[in-house]
């Protein structure tokens, strides 16, 4: 078969002999071998396009044998999707008689698809067409490389586009340079901020386009791109950088420069990213001021004080100087705030802050520590006496009133002072010690200053211990009440009792109120404690009444804080109502100083109590300051002569005179008089001879537990002397 074709071909189809004068080379066999040796597939077709010959390479490409191909159309293996295009091109080339070359997907016998390129030439004999010869080349490999390249190109384009759009739409300015520091790129923001268009800037030295100076010194700043390139790392611009625009306009900027690397990791340039921080810098300054200053007074706050104190201590240490820390607490501020309102309170604090400021050097720090507390830091002083001097100035300055609206308000401060390094080697100790000293200044009568002394810490610790123990005692019910009989000195009858609190501490045993009432008052725990005492006393007396005993009125001690507490009266009414005790069984003991603190408001509270049927006794009478005119006005039932007078009544003629005067005064004011602390027969005799009606003291009875006292209420069982 093959032989038959060969016989037919060389002379007829290729007309080789006609084209060449070299007869000997192109005999039939030689031609077949030559064609088979070709790496290109060869497909010879007759003038209708039907196969008359194919070479070995074509068989390889198509996966078919010559027999399978012979007589088939050349276009059979064209992929259906490519066929219409390829046929159209083929026809066009025939019409125009031009050479034909095209690429299409070739479907092999086993269905796999490869890319091929075919070239066609016509075989003619004179004017007559003898068919076509096509070369077929497998170009799959090239095609797939083309495909990869075009995908990569596409991706690269997209990536570039994305970068471009991103760089132009971000708020930051971006500027890039080559390794020599010449500008290679600017985004839109960078154009606006530098005043250079991209076209103008490209190739210019960076120092021309991106001029920066140090905002503080106004000196030219170090070029960050150069540093990023030289040091091959990201470089932050110095915090105070200012960019000078092409027209001279200055804008504070912030940000960084980073090196750009090539594929081999070598630095090829740098990119600077920066933004205008005029607004954020102003905001930052404002924020940092707010974070470090008190809103109301504008003074430094605790955070700034801590910073300055540490700094002062460091400096003092280096220069061998001292630092004084003064802790100031305004006296009775709460009272002013409660009675005049917060607005007046706030204005008063502002006025006080201004006055404090005027008393110290500019280099000293005044801080509002919170509420009505201020701290003054005197840096680098020579002697502790320097701090005393400042305190004197302060206390004098505050002798003048503050004018708030139409009010003239007098205020004073209690000041505690601690000195570094004398009283503590660090900031915490200095603060703690100044606070402790201030607390002592308060306890010693306010409106004064007090230097810290080491012993105070022991006292402060003790106080803290007591406070914590009291909280526990309240929670665990460790308090109990004792009742001390009060006697009618004429009839010797039991006419009442004073209620005295006791604390049964699991470790210490019975603790006297002298050891904890003051602490309870300072830390406010006296409110819940006092409430418990009142309720328990009322409950107990009601129980005695209910159990048929001939109960007597009881006197409960009330502290200043309780008396001034806004719901004091409501509390009393509630307790009476809840326990069901008739109010005539309740007396309240108040000291003169409590009553005189705010005499007008005392009058109204006492009046309400009287209206409720509750009686009032003035405790420790004679030890405090009282005004006779007020005493007259207060609805007081009883004066209790303090035991310090009674104690010496038989030995000290002054005390004897005072006691008899007090008895006379009570009689004139129409008040009952009871002598406290009656211990001896002699004292009793003196009191009786001066017509004092009532007495209370160890001579009659020590304070008794409730059960023991109840025995006295059983009239058949009375055991009093």
Q: Which is nearer to ligand C2E, 500 or 687 (CB)?
A: 500
138 part of the interface to ligand C2E, by CB under 6 A: no
Scanning 155-163, 184-192, 392-400, 556-564 for contacts with ligand C2E by CB under 6 A, the matching segment is: 556-564
DSSP string of 361-391?
A: -TTSEEEEEETTEEEEEEEEES-HHHHHHHH
Residues binding Mg ion: number (CB under 5 A): 5
589 part of the interface to Mg ion, by CB under 5 A: yes
Rg from Cα positions in the chain = 55
Q: Which is nearer to ligand C2E, 296 or 480 (CB)?
A: 480
In the complex, least distance from residue 643 CB atom to ligand C2E, rounded to whole angstroms: 5
Per-residue binding letters, 698-717, with ligand C2E (x by CB under 6 A): x----x--------------
Per-residue binding letters, 94-123, with ligand C2E (x by CB under 6 A): ------------------------------
DSSP H helices in 580-652: 592-597, 599-612, 628-633, 643-647
Question: Counting Cβ atoms within 10 Å, is residue 653 exposed (0-12), middle (13-18) or buried (19+)?
Answer: exposed
DSSP string of 455-490?
A: HHHHHHHHHHHHHHHHHHHHHHT-EEEEEEEEEETT
Q: Which option in ligand C2E, Mg ion, none does residue 698 bind, with CB closer than 5 to 8 A by kind?
A: ligand C2E
In the complex, least distance from residue 332 CB atom to ligand C2E, rounded to whole angstroms: 20
Give kind and range of the element (H or E) at residue 134: strand 128-138
Query: What distances in angstroms separate CA 570 from CA 534, 573, 576, one per listed residue?
Result: 13, 5, 10
Residue 703 near residue 672, CB atoms below 8 Å: no
500 part of the interface to ligand C2E, by CB under 6 A: yes
Q: Give, as one character, the DSSP assignment of residue 293.
A: B
In the complex, least distance from residue 434 CB atom to ligand C2E, rounded to whole angstroms: 30
Instruction: For 153-266, list the strands marked E by DSSP.
Output: 173-178, 183-186, 211-214, 235-236, 241-244, 250-261
348 part of the interface to ligand C2E, by CB under 6 A: no
Per-residue binding letters, 622-661, with ligand C2E (x by CB under 6 A): ---------------------x------------------
Residues binding ligand C2E: number (CB under 6 A): 23
82 part of the interface to ligand C2E, by CB under 6 A: no
Q: In the range 273-302, which residues lie near Mg ion by CB under 5 A?
A: none
Tell me if residue 567 falls in helix, strand or coil.
coil
Residues 6+ apart with CB under 8 A from 87: 75, 78
Residue choice 116, 379, 557, 696 for contact with Mg ion (CB under 5 A): 557
562 part of the interface to Mg ion, by CB under 5 A: no
Residues 6+ apart with CB under 8 A from 200: none
From the CB of residue 717, how many other CB atoms can be counted at a distance below 10 Å?
Answer: 9
Q: In the range 435-494, which residues lie near ligand C2E by CB under 6 A?
A: 484
The C-alpha angle with vertex 215 and arms to 212 and 220, in degrees rounded to 5, equals 40
Q: Which residues pair with 214 in a beta bridge?
A: 241
Scanning 35-43, 111-119, 196-204, 506-514 for contacts with ligand C2E by CB under 6 A, the matching segment is: 506-514
Residues 6+ apart with CB under 8 A from 78: 86, 87, 104, 105, 106, 107
From the CB of residue 189, how many other CB atoms can be counted at a distance below 10 Å?
Answer: 21
In the complex, least distance from residue 646 CB atom to ligand C2E, rounded to whole angstroms: 8
697 part of the interface to ligand C2E, by CB under 6 A: yes
Q: Which option in Mg ion, ligand C2E, none does residue 677 bind, with CB closer than 5 to 8 A by kind?
A: ligand C2E
Q: Which option in ligand C2E, Mg ion, none does residue 500 bind, with CB closer than 5 to 8 A by kind?
A: ligand C2E
513 part of the interface to ligand C2E, by CB under 6 A: yes
Residue choice 517, 519, 631, 636 for contact with ligand C2E (CB under 6 A): 517
Q: Which is nearer to ligand C2E, 363 or 512 (CB)?
A: 512
Query: What distances in angstroms separate CA 417 from CA 329, 398, 436, 437, one per listed residue?
Result: 12, 18, 9, 6
Per-residue binding letters, 571-600, with ligand C2E (x by CB under 6 A): ------------------x-----------
Sheet of strand 113-125: strand arrangement: 51-54, 41-45, 128-138, 113-125, 100-107
Residue choice 130, 337, 559, 587 for contact with ligand C2E (CB under 6 A): 559
619 part of the interface to Mg ion, by CB under 5 A: yes
Residue 609 near residue 646, CB atoms below 8 Å: no
620 part of the interface to Mg ion, by CB under 5 A: yes
Residue 568: φ, ψ to 5°: -60, -50
Per-residue binding letters, 656-695, with ligand C2E (x by CB under 6 A): --------------------xxxx----------------
Q: Which is nearer to Mg ion, 254 or 619 (CB)?
A: 619
Tell me if residue 74 falls in helix, strand or coil.
coil
Interface ranges with Mg ion (CB under 5 A): 557, 589, 619-620, 676
Interface ranges with ligand C2E (CB under 6 A): 484, 500-501, 512-514, 517, 530, 533, 557-559, 589, 619-620, 643, 676-679, 697-698, 703
């Amino acid at each position: 078969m093959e032989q038959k074709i060969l016989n037919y071909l060389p002379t007829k189809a290729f007309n080789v002999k006609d084209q060449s004068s070299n007869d000997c080379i192109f005999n039939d066999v030689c031609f077949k071998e030559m064609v088979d040796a070709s790496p290109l597939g060869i497909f010879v077709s007759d003038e209708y396009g039907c196969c008359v010959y194919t070479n070995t390479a074509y068989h390889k490409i198509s996966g078919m044998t010559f027999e399978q191909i012979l007589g088939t159309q050349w276009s059979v293996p064209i992929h259906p999707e490519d066929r219409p295009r390829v046929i159209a091109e083929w026809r066009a080339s025939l019409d125009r008689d031009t050479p034909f070359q095209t690429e299409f997907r070739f479907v092999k016998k086993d269905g796999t698809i490869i890319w091929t390129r075919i070239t066609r030439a016509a075989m003619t004999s004179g004017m007559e067409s003898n068919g076509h010869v096509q070369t077929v080349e497998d170009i799959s490999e090239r095609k797939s490389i083309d495909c990869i390249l075009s995908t990569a190109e596409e991706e690269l384009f997209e990536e570039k586009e994305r970068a471009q759009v991103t760089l132009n739409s971000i708020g930051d300015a971006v500027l890039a340079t080559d390794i020599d520091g010449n500008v290679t790129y600017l985004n839109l923001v960078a154009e606006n901020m530098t005043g250079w268009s991209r076209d103008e800037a490209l190739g210019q030295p960076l120092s021309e386009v991106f001029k920066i100076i140090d905002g503080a010194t106004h000196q030219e700043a170090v070029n960050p791109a150069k540093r990023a390139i030289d040091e091959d790392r990201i470089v932050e611009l110095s915090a105070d950088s200012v960019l000078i625009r092409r027209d001279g306009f200055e804008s504070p900027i912030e940000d960084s420069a980073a090196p750009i690397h090539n594929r081999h990791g070598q630095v090829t340039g740098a990119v600077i990213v920066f933004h205008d921080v005029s607004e954020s810098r102003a905001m930052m300054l404002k924020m940092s001021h707010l974070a470090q200053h008190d809103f109301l007074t504008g003074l430094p706050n605790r955070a700034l004080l801590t910073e300055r104190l540490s700094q002062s201590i460091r400096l003092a240490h280096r220069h061998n100087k001292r630092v004084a820390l003064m802790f100031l607490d305004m006296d009775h501020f709460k009272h002013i705030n409660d009675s005049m309102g917060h607005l007046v309170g706030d204005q008063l604090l502002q006025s006080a802050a201004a006055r404090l400021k005027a008393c110290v050097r500019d280099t000293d720090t005044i801080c509002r520590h919170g509420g009505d507390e201020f701290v003054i830091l005197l840096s680098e002083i020579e002697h502790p006496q320097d701090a005393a001097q400042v305190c004197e100035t302060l206390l004098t300055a505050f002798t003048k009133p503050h004018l708030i609206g139409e009010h003239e308000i007098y205020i004073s401060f209690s000041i505690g002072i601690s000195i570094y390094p004398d009283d503590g080697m660090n900031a915490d100790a200095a603060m703690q010690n100044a606070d402790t000293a201030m607390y002592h200044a308060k306890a010693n009568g306010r409106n004064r200053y007090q230097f810290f002394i080491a012993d105070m810490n022991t006292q402060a610790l003790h106080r803290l211990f007591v406070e914590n123990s009291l909280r526990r005692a309240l929670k665990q019910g460790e308090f109990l009440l004792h009742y001390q009989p009060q006697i009618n000195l004429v009839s010797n009858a039991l006419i009442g009792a004073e209620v005295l609190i006791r604390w049964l501490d699991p470790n210490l045993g019975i603790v006297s109120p002298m050891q904890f009432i003051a602490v309870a008052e300072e830390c406010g725990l006296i409110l819940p404690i006092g409430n418990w005492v009142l309720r328990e006393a009322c409950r107990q007396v009601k129980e005695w009444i209910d159990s048929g005993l001939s109960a007597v009125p009881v006197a409960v001690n009330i502290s200043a804080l309780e008396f001034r507490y806004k719901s004091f009266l409501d509390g009393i009414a509630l307790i009476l109502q809840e326990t069901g005790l008739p109010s005539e069984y309740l007396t309240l003991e108040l000291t003169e100083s409590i009553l005189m603190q705010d005499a007008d408001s005392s009058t109204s509270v006492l009046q309400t109590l009287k209206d409720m049927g509750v009686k009032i006794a003035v405790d420790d009478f004679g030890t405090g300051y009282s005004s006779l005119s007020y005493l007259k006005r207060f609805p007081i039932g009883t004066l209790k002569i303090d035991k310090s007078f009674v104690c010496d009544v038989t030995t000290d003629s002054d005390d004897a005179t005072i006691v008899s005067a007090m008895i006379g005064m009570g009689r004139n004011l129409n008040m009952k008089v009871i002598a406290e602390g009656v211990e001896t027969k002699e004292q009793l005799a003196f009191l009786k001879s001066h017509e004092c009606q009532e007495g209370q003291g160890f001579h009659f009875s020590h304070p008794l537990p409730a059960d023991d006292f109840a025995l006295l209420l059983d009239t058949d069982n009375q055991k009093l002397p």
